[in-house]
């Protein structure tokens, strides 16, 4: 794995930029195995001092919790099964997930939801796994970290069925249209934004939507190692995304909202702490 340490220094940020939190980083991914500590250090140097490590399967959930234990107060975890892995959520894994979700390092249940774009799992299996994890989130009183792609109507129907029992949630990696955004906001969900908005081919439609999201309900994430911002001035040779690029995403969103980046970042951080119950760190 190429070490990208020389390729993040170009990211300029004001000295007083508030602390940012990456709400969705797949830090258990193999692409970080060779330099995970350096990735965490580069993030901190860029102002991203706290991160939520995504659990998307039994194995990645266990790994995310272990990483959070090694970096208390800086890394946190989600516990869940991505719709791609829905067929893996049998009775044994659901029982284990129910235990893992109660660990103090876990701040949300998920990544869970529906993905009819890839269809790696049958729709019925996805829906069953989604129901199970929403029920789990309600029982442990933790928010949900949600995934939806090409499945809006079914996703919305299932969420509405459970919404009264949920304590909150975030529509992770939002890439949808104005109608979908309004539906999610009406349900009380926060909105997670990634470097997708930096892609002029696929994400330009998101720019005018940014002004319609209330302050504190628009949260920041990289979804690394995926979704490297396409408009980075200097791209890493590996093409791997990482949390050190979060300030760049924040700047793009702030411009779209007509806000100073400091103002937007402060709102995003405050909203993240509210949703996930995170404390500030020194």
Is 212 a member of any domain?
yes
Predicted model pTM: 0.94
Whether residue 179 is contained in a domain is answered as: yes
Kindly state whether residue 173 falls inside one of the protein's structural domains: yes
Is 138 inside any structural domain? Answer: yes
User: Rounded to an integer, what distance in angstroms lies between the CA atom of residue 106 and that of residue 116?
Assistant: 27
In 159-202, beta strands by DSSP E: 169-171, 190-193
State the Cα–Cα distance between residues 76 and 229, nearest whole angstrom.
24
Residue 28: give its domain's CATH number. 3.20.20.140
Residue where the block lists tokens 């140097």: 45
Locate 167 and state its tokens.
């304590």
What domain range is 235 assigned to?
5-276
Tally of structural domains, the chain: 1
Domain presence at residue 260: yes
Give me the phi and psi of 139, to 5 degrees please: -70, -35
| CA separation, residue 167 to residues 101, 117, 187, 234, 276 (Å) | 14, 28, 11, 40, 10
Per residue of the chain (282 residues), give pLDDT as tens. Answer: 333 333 443 344 445 556 899 999 999 999 999 999 999 999 999 999 999 999 999 999 999 999 999 999 999 999 999 999 999 999 999 999 999 999 999 999 999 999 999 999 999 999 999 999 999 999 999 999 999 999 999 999 999 999 999 999 999 999 999 999 999 999 999 999 999 999 999 999 999 999 999 999 999 999 999 999 999 999 999 999 999 999 999 999 999 999 999 999 999 999 999 999 999 887
Domain membership of residue 100 (yes or no) is yes
Q: Does residue 282 fall inside a structural domain? A: no
């Amino acid at each position: 794995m190429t070490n990208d340490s020389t390729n993040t220094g170009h990211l300029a940020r004001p000295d007083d930029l508030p602390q940012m939190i990456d709400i969705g980083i797949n830090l258990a991914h193999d692409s970080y195995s060779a330099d995970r500590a350096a990735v965490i250090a580069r993030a901190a140097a860029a102002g991203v001092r706290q991160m939520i490590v995504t659990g998307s399967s039994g194995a990645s959930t266990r790994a995310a919790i272990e990483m959070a234990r090694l970096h208390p107060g800086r890394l946190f975890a989600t516990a869940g099964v991505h719709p791609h892995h829905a067929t893996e959520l049998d009775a044994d894994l659901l029982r284990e997930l129910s235990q893992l979700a109660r660990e103090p390092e876990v701040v949300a249940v998920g990544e869970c939801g529906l993905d009819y774009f890839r269809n790696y799992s049958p729709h019925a299996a996805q829906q069953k796994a989604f129901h199970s994890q929403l029920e789990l989130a309600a029982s442990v009183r933790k928010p949900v970290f949600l995934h939806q792609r090409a499945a809006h109507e079914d996703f919305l129907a299932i969420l509405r069925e459970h919404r009264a029992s949920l304590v909150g949630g975030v529509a992770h990696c939002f890439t949808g249209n104005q109608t979908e955004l309004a539906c999610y906001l009406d349900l009380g969900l926060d909105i997670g934004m990634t470097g997708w908005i930096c892609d002029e081919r696929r994400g330009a439609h998101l720019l005018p939507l940014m002004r319609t999201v209330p302050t504190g309900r628009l949260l920041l994430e990289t979804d690394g190692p995926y979704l490297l911002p396409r408009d980075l001035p200097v791209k890493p040779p590996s093409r791997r995304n990482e949390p050190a690029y979060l300030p760049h995403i924040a700047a793009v969103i702030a411009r779209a909202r007509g806000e100073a980046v400091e103002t937007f970042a402060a709102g995003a951080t405050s909203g993240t702490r509210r949703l996930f119950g995170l404390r500030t760190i020194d």
